[in-house]
Amino acid sequence: MHRLFTLREHDHGAYPFDQVEVADFRPAFAEAIAEKRSEVEAIIQQTDAPTFANTIVALERSGAKLEWLSGIFYNLLHAEATDELMEISQELSPELSALSSYILLSEGLFARIRSVWEERDQLKLDLEDARLLQRTYESFSESGALLPEDKKERLREVKRELSELALTFGQNNLKEQARFRLWVEDDAQVTGLPESALGVARELAKKEDKPHGYLFTLAAPSFFPFMQHCPDASLREEMYRAKMSLGAVEGEFDNRDVIRRLANLRLELAQLLGHTTFASKVLTKRMAGSPEAVDRLLDELLEAYLPVAKEELAKVEAFAREAGETKALQPWDWSYWAEQYKKAFYELDEEELRPYFELSRVSTAIFSLATRLYGIHFSERTDLPVYHPDVHTYEVQDRDGSYLGLLYTDFFPREGKQSGAWMNNLQEQYHTASGEDHRPHIVLVMNFTQPVGDRPALLTPGEVRTFLHEFGHALHGMLAQARYSSLSGTNVVRDFVELPSQLMENWLDQREWLQSFAQHYQTAEALPDSLIERMERARHFLVGYAACRQLSFGYLDMAWHTITEPLPEGLDTKAFEEKAWAKAVLLPASPAPCQMSTTFGHIFSGGYSAGYYGYKWAEVLDADAFAAFQQEGIFSSKTAQRFRDCILSQGDREDAEVLYERFRGQAPSIEALLRRDGIERR
């Protein structure tokens, strides 16, 4: 047995990050993959008649070593990547794809699963056992188990290439983004940027042996403040072009043919399995159900929000002209002039709010909100190993003191860390064969503005919202109460998984919650009522534009995944993109080669292919769900307990529609979302 599998000596099975070496991964994965294959082969070869226990449950519990090892490896790959880790991931991709195909396309294994499935009415299974049997049978029957051997062989090849291309896509973006540097020496060019951004830029410059001036990168805490506040349009354009041309220029990191091949292979996979498009295949297992239902939602929302967005655009353009802007606003101008408009008409600058959102106080406030709602408690554990000094670990306990899981937080950008924010389950919640409740280990990864000098990390309200969002995912994983890991926590349909995360964002707009913790990090002065009032007045600022932007991403995703014929070599991916989202885009088209598709990680490497609409779908749900809290009290433990019982603890034990209506007592509609956003139908 490889040494990695003998190191679990920490409390609650915490990962031995302090003892893991990169050289361990190749041999450890070889052992774990071989063991998973051996365990599956044993299920196939047994002579006993197929039963729920010896086939369905045995398959569910196989591969424990591989799951445990993957939890370490893929977290490091995304949050602490090195060239060697990326090289190993490329080597692993075909091996893991081959293992998946071996299992899902095994005639012997599927014969046993189908035998149990056909006897399901006589088995008298409880709700969760029946769900596991259903999901297992569907995963095989809908993944090609019934295909003839020649089509199975092609399916294996398609899946292998898809996994390799998705990995290549993400690593191309990570490597190319890491190469970009914008060096600014003239203070006048960055006058107006907040000190938080300038401080980070000065620190970056010093780290690269540039004692004077500023160094800006494409990481979120550098890029977004720059685009919002830099008065120099030429520098904004340079930053924008660099960000939006990632993967879109000829060279070693060119993703244009990668995304064409991904779209074509997904189409081929879908058609091998009897579907006309990849989206139609994916959506059979989503709340939406079909591409037509997705289109109806996107179009209905666009009809409601587009008139508002056009009015917002006209107001900002008029403001920019009055302020001396002589040219039509370009994509790199929008964030800057929108921010200037907000300062002028709402007297609100998010940078003015930063001092009131010191990260440690925000963390405490969010943990305390979970305590108030759900009765859970967080205690920091400094004795458990972490993979980077920035990472903090918390033991989470339920209201009765019982152990719920471990939560890791990783807040700041660094070399080798992907941009964005996400939640990962390092270890799932499930019941072991002996009946023990194995509690989850969860990591929250962000890219917040980091501390500079003596100043602590200070967040914008937008960053606080991101924290709340990812924390909602963490609650979904942390409060899981399933027996089987494949049905546990966030393992739900993609257009339902964003409900708990987006629901948590609502508390940022509640005065009572803000007043409970927001205070100046130096003076301890409470967030003034005047600032809260300005935040409330600006709550609907650019709500139409923001909605149309999200809808445009949904249209783009669906365009890539509703093709019915392969896309040709040499496809102009920019032209494809512009046509796909034209009806929801308000600003002029970005100059070539700028485009979003070549960096659209959510749909090309992140699991949201034919599913990006799910953010808007879940936004409808979260607005409707929060209306229940508003009716019954935003801190109502009774309402929160019902949400926990009906949704957070349930995972995928029942259909999402059933779970939601059990909580809410009614089906959702877009009306609550429109009310929250101040939108009147026209």
Q: Is 31 exposed, middle or buried (0-12, 13-18, 19+ CB in 10 A)?
A: middle
Per the domain annotation, does 384 fall within a domain? yes
Whether residue 478 is found in the same domain as residue 547: no
Scan for tokens 């860390």, then name that residue.
417
Whether residue 65 is found in the same domain as residue 202: no
Amino acid at 70: S
What pLDDT shows up at residue 563? Answer: 98
What does the pLDDT look like over 442-452, one tens digit per residue? Answer: 999 999 998 98
What distance separates the 2 farthest-apart alpha carbons in the chain?
82
Q: What is the mean pLDDT of residues 415-421?
A: 89
Contact call for residues 50 and 115 (beta carbons, < 8 A): yes
- Short-list 491, 490, 438, 425, CA closest to 135: 491
Question: Would you tell me the crossing angle of helices 220-229 and 331-346 to the nearest 10 degrees?
Answer: 70
Category of 174 on φ-ψ map: left (φ > 0), alpha (ψ -120 to 50) or beta: alpha
Q: Where are any strands of DSSP class E within 308-461?
A: 377-380, 392-397, 403-410, 422-427, 430-431, 437-438, 441-445
Per the domain annotation, does 175 fall within a domain? no
Whether residue 233 is found in the same domain as residue 336: no
What pLDDT shows up at residue 643? Answer: 98
Helical (H) or strand (E) element with 283: helix 278-283
Whether residue 324 is found in the same domain as residue 362: no
Q: How many domains, in total, are found in the chain? A: 4
Last residue of a domain, one of 120, 146, 172: 146
What pLDDT shows up at residue 237? Answer: 97
Angle in degrees, CA 190, 187, 178, rounded to 5: 60
Reduce the DSSP state of residue 678 to 3 states and report it.
coil
Residues facing residue 452 across a β-bridge: 455
What pLDDT shows up at residue 682? Answer: 63
Q: Which two tokens stand for residue 512?
A: 């009572």
Q: Which two tokens stand for residue 351?
A: 């940078």
- Short-list 166, 143, 165, CA closest to 155: 143
Q: Which two tokens stand for residue 623?
A: 């607005």
Whether residue 36 is found in the same domain as residue 89: yes
Q: Which two tokens stand for residue 246?
A: 């990632």
Reduce the DSSP state of residue 144 to 3 states and report it.
coil
Last residue of a domain, one of 92, 122, 146: 146
Q: For residue 171, what are the contacts with CB-CB under 8 A and spacing of at least 6?
A: 86, 89, 90
Is 681's pLDDT higher than 80?
no
Whether residue 331 is found in the same domain as residue 373: no
What pLDDT shows up at residue 669? Answer: 87
Last residue of a domain, one of 189, 212, 244: 244
What pLDDT shows up at residue 577? Answer: 98
Q: What is the mean pLDDT of residues 650-673?
A: 95
Amino acid at 43: I
- Short-list 215, 150, 291, CA closest to 609: 291
Question: How many Cβ atoms from other residues are within 10 Å of residue 159's Cβ?
Answer: 22
Category of 411 on φ-ψ map: left (φ > 0), alpha (ψ -120 to 50) or beta: alpha
Whether residue 225 is found in the same domain as residue 304: no
DSSP 458: B
Q: Which two tokens stand for residue 447?
A: 């890219």
Contact call for residues 474 and 415 (beta carbons, < 8 A): no
Per the domain annotation, does 521 fall within a domain? no
What pLDDT shows up at residue 59? Answer: 98
Q: For residue 433, what are the contacts with CB-CB under 8 A and spacing of at least 6?
A: 61
Q: Is 598 exposed, middle or buried (0-12, 13-18, 19+ CB in 10 A)?
A: buried
Dist CA 294 CA 614 (whole Å): 9
The per-residue pLDDT of the chain, averaged, comes to 95
Whether residue 93 is found in the same domain as residue 187: no
Containing domain of residue 671, as a range?
355-509+615-676
Whether residue 623 is found in the same domain as residue 559: no
Residues facing residue 182 across a β-bridge: 216
Whether residue 431 is found in the same domain as residue 493: yes
Q: Is 436 a catalytic residue?
A: no
Length of the chain: 682
Q: For residue 663, what are the contacts with CB-CB under 8 A and spacing of at least 6?
A: 625, 628, 642, 643, 646, 647
Per the domain annotation, does 305 fall within a domain? yes
Q: Is 5 exposed, middle or buried (0-12, 13-18, 19+ CB in 10 A)?
A: middle
Q: Is 484 exposed, middle or buried (0-12, 13-18, 19+ CB in 10 A)?
A: buried
Reduce the DSSP state of residue 423 to 3 states and report it.
strand
Question: Residue 430: what are its φ and ψ, rounded to 5°?
Answer: -170, 175
Helical (H) or strand (E) element with 266: helix 256-272
Cα–Cα distance list, 664 to 13, 504, 658 (Å):
37, 16, 10
Scan for tokens 């519990």, then name that residue.
61
Per the domain annotation, does 681 fall within a domain? no
- Short-list 629, 398, 375, CA closest to 503: 629
Whether residue 94 is found in the same domain as residue 237: no
What pLDDT shows up at residue 607? Answer: 87
Per the domain annotation, does 435 fall within a domain? yes
What does the pLDDT look like over 555-565, one tens digit per residue? Answer: 999 999 999 99
What pLDDT shows up at residue 236? Answer: 97
Q: Is 186 exposed, middle or buried (0-12, 13-18, 19+ CB in 10 A)?
A: exposed
Q: Which two tokens stand for residue 155?
A: 């399916």
Is 134's pLDDT higher than 80?
yes
Whether residue 565 is found in the same domain as residue 428: no
Q: What share of the chain is helix, strand, coil (3-state, %, to 5)?
A: 60, 5, 35
Dist CA 497 CA 368 (whole Å): 23
Of 128, 350, 463, 470, the catalytic one is 470
Dist CA 671 CA 680 (whole Å): 10
What does the pLDDT look like over 269-303, one tens digit per residue? Answer: 999 999 999 999 999 989 999 999 999 999 999 99
The gap from C-alpha 351 to its chain's centroid, in whole angstroms, comes to 26
What does the pLDDT look like over 161-215, one tens digit per residue? Answer: 999 999 999 999 999 999 999 999 999 999 999 988 999 899 999 888 888 899 9
Dist CA 236 CA 257 (whole Å): 28
Q: What is the mean pLDDT of residues 66-88?
A: 95
Q: Is 124 exposed, middle or buried (0-12, 13-18, 19+ CB in 10 A)?
A: exposed
Per the domain annotation, does 498 fall within a domain? yes
Dist CA 675 CA 673 (whole Å): 5
What pLDDT shows up at residue 351? Answer: 86
Category of 651 on φ-ψ map: left (φ > 0), alpha (ψ -120 to 50) or beta: left
Q: What is the mean pLDDT of residues 413-421?
A: 90
Dist CA 370 CA 452 (whole Å): 29
Helical (H) or strand (E) element with 542: none
Q: What is the mean pLDDT of residues 126-130?
A: 98
- Short-list 546, 543, 550, 584, CA closest to 679: 543
Task: Residue 596: give its domain's CATH number.
Answer: 1.10.1370.10
What pLDDT shows up at residue 621? Answer: 96
Per the domain annotation, does 151 fall within a domain? no
Q: What is the mean pLDDT of residues 215-221?
A: 92
Return the CA Rg of the chain.
25
Task: Residue 13: give its domain's CATH number.
Answer: 1.20.1050.40
